[in-house]
């Protein structure tokens, strides 16, 4: 059994293609069940976000499975295959494992290190679990992807440097104030950027939020979201002496904060520091304010410089994460390779044991005078012959799970000895227990330990 993925992402498809191929998050049952009816698909998970749509599956015939999934995507979304196929990629085996581990660890994201993708994959797995389209392999595969992503976040600094304007503002505020607890933020403007930045500030300890906006109702609404206080736009400057952090984004044609205003404010604050973030274009805050002692003013360009520097740091950490991911891929691929090895060993021994029993019974039926002792000796001798004859091929099969030759050996053994197709993976443990032979017990591979 092998793992495969077929999909597209922001790297291969423009947004107008991605939105046509996206699956509605509240209607996953139908596509999952349709995928499971495809002849070559045994298990499946669908990951659908604004930046990627990917179908993960298990199959014994990956070539057919890839073709069937490509056709499914086109038919399900009413897109001509010739239009869709150039944007699709597919990976099988180790490449598919490597791909998911990188995706879950946000190494393949538009913004390296962003945390949202892991939650989105967990949601996709939740739907597949709810609608029973995953089995042993994808269950373990997805859980392993989650643990790999966790290792990347805890053992590297890939997510520690801000790479969004709103979070860069929080990072800079921390450098100025140390801790943000008990600090007061004023939002001048109530647009999306202000709201997002305010959310980051609140999540990082800010407890007091003032909101002002030309439309007072909008200020009231946003203040309510943060348990804050709305302020009339006409007199917001009267409250600035209470404020540690100002975030401005109004879209006004002229400055809404002048140099003289802030000179008076900083005197009222007795030179306690203030941090001003101007994310408006054109700017809301007079840049000369930065010349006032204990006032730190950053505009969009300043924040972009911080972001670019942080992106370079994330890329350094991404290299460390890539090494970690590769080690985890090798480990999981070894486990996956054993899934066909175990039932092959069981089937091989079973076939030889049945031949031995049949031939011994046939022979003993012609020698009825033989005593119990002689009969036991013949049984023991023939069992020893079988064990010695199978010792080397069984050893090779056990060891081959460590390299890429495993599938070749398994296929060769099954062809040469006319063995039945492998049992479903879930039945392997029962099959192994059927044989109380030490060699068989040893062949049952456990999850590799770190």
CA dihedral (199, 255, 274, 299) positive or negative:
positive
Question: In the prediction, which pLDDT does 439 show?
Answer: 34
| 239/236 Cα distance (integer angstroms) | 6
If you count them, how many residues does the chain have?
450
Neighbours of 302 (CB within 10 A): 17
Q: Are strands 52-59 and 2-9 parallel, antiparallel or unpaired?
A: antiparallel
| Catalytic residue chosen out of the listed positions 50, 194, 400, 406 | 50
211, 243 contact by CB (below 8 A): no
Highest mean pLDDT: which range of 85-89, 177-181, 202-206, 245-249: 85-89
Question: In the prediction, which pLDDT does 164 show?
Answer: 64
Q: What is the dihedral of CA 243, 249, 255, 258, to 10 degrees?
A: 10
Question: In the prediction, which pLDDT does 268 show?
Answer: 95
Model confidence over 101-140: pLDDT tens digits?
999 998 888 777 777 889 999 999 999 999 999 988 899 9
345, 417 contact by CB (below 8 A): no
Q: Which of 146-150, 206-210, 274-278, 319-323 has the lowest mean pLDDT?
A: 319-323
Model confidence over 331-346: pLDDT tens digits?
887 777 667 677 788 8
Between 325 and 341, name the one with better pLDDT.
Answer: 325
Query: What whole-number percentage of the chain has pLDDT above 90?
Result: 52
Between 307 and 41, name the one with better pLDDT.
Answer: 41
- 194 among known catalytic residues: no
* List of domains in the chain: 2-161 (3.30.460.30), 165-306 (3.40.50.720), 332-443 (no CATH)
The 3-state secondary structure of 18-66, one letter per residue: HHHHCCCCCCCHHHHHHHHCCCCCCEEEEEECCCEEEEEEEECCHHHHH
User: Phi and psi dihedrals of 191, rounded to 5?
Assistant: -80, -175
| 310/316 Cα distance (integer angstroms) | 10
């Amino acid at each position: 059994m092998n793992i495969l993925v077929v999909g597209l992402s922001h790297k291969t498809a423009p947004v107008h293609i991605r939105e046509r191929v996206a699956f509605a998050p509240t209607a996953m049952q139908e596509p999952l069940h349709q995928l499971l009816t495809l002849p070559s698909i045994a298990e499946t998970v669908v990951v659908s976000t604004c930046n990627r749509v990917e179908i993960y599956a298990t199959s014994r015939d990956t070539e057919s499975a890839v073709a069937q999934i490509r056709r499914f995507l086109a038919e399900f979304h009413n897109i001509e295959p010739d239009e869709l196929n150039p944007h699709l990629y597919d990976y099988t085996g180790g490449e598919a494992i490597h791909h998911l581990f990188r995706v879950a660890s946000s190494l393949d994201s538009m913004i390296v290190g962003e945390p949202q993708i892991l939650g989105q994959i967990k949601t996709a797995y939740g739907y597949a679990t709810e609608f029973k389209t995953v089995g042993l392999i994808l269950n373990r595969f997805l859980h392993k992807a989650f643990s790999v992503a966790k290792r990347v976040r805890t053992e590297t600094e890939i997510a520690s440097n801000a790479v969004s304007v709103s979070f860069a503002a929080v990072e800079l505020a921390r450098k100025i104030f140390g801790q943000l607890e008990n600090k007061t933020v004023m939002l001048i403007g109530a647009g999306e950027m202000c709201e997002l930045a305010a959310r980051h500030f609140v999540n990082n300890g800010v407890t007091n939020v003032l909101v002002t906006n030309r439309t007072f109702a909008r200020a009231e609404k946003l203040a309510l979201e943060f348990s804050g206080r709305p302020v009339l736009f006409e007199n917001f400057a009267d409250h600035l002496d209470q404020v540690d952090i100002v975030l401005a984004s109004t879209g006004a044609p002229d400055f809404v904060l002048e140099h003289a205003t802030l000179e008076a404010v900083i005197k009222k604050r007795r030179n306690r520091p203030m941090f001003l973030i101007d994310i408006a274009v054109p700017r809301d805050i007079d840049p000369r304010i930065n010349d006032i002692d204990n006032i730190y003013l950053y505009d969009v360009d300043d924040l972009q410089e911080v972001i670019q520097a942080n992106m370079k740091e994330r890329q350094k950490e991404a290299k460390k994460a890539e090494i970690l991911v590769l080690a985890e891929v090798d480990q999981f691929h070894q486990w996956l390779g054993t899934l066909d090895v175990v039932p092959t060993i069981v089937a091989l021994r079973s076939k030889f044991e049945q031949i031995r029993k049949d031939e011994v019974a046939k022979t003993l039926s012609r020698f009825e005078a033989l005593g119990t002792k002689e009969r036991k000796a013949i049984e023991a001798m023939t069992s020893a012959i079988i064990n010695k004859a199978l010792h080397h091929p069984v050893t090779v099969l056990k060891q081959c799970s460590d390299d890429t030759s495993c599938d070749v050996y398994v296929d060769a053994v099954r062809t040469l000895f006319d063995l039945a197709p492998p049992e479903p993976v879930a039945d392997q443990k029962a099959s192994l227990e059927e044989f109380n032979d030490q060699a068989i017990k040893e062949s049952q591979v456990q999850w590799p330990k770190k």
